[in-house]
Amino acid sequence: RPNIALAQEAGLETARGICTGLDHRSSDPSIFALGDCAEVNGQWAPYINPITQALPALVNNLLGQSTDADLKATPVLVKTPILPLSVLPAMETGEWRVEEHDGELAAGFYNEQDKLIGFALLGRQLQHHRTEWLEKLNSCPSTV
């Protein structure tokens, strides 16, 4: 969980992180947030890929050109040679559905509306299916 104490003391709107829109602007129009401390359109946006995706929009906004970030769901990759792992954490309530494929595991996390909102792929061969899982996730506009 991000440390949002300073943001709260500054009077910024917070939930899990500092609340922003897709422009990464906080409730104070002169303060922007991204990375582990940001909650973009209600979705926590930690790790490197969301930051990289947000940077072009953030630069434009700082230059006075109103721009929304084009955020896509991106998994965390754990590059262990023996057993690679891709995880896209889910931040809602729901359930994991796990399938075994030739000794490897694929798990999808589904919310209460039965939408896929996260996944984990454990095993070398399943990493080749990461794009398929991402396409399912990115077809849902609420996923960051």
| pLDDT at residue 122 in the model | 95
| pLDDT at residue 140 in the model | 54
> Which of 121-126's residues contact partners 24+ apart within 8 Å by CB, and which partners?
121/75, 121/85, 121/86, 121/87, 122/83, 122/84, 122/85, 123/83, 123/84, 124/83, 124/84, 125/101, 126/86, 126/101
| pLDDT at residue 142 in the model | 47
| pLDDT at residue 143 in the model | 44
| pLDDT at residue 91 in the model | 75
Domains of the chain in sequence order: 5-62 (no CATH), 76-138 (3.30.390.120)
| pLDDT at residue 81 in the model | 87
Could you list the mean pLDDT of each consecutive 10-residue stretch along the chain, which spans 144 residues?
92 95 95 92 83 93 94 84 89 92 94 92 91 80 46
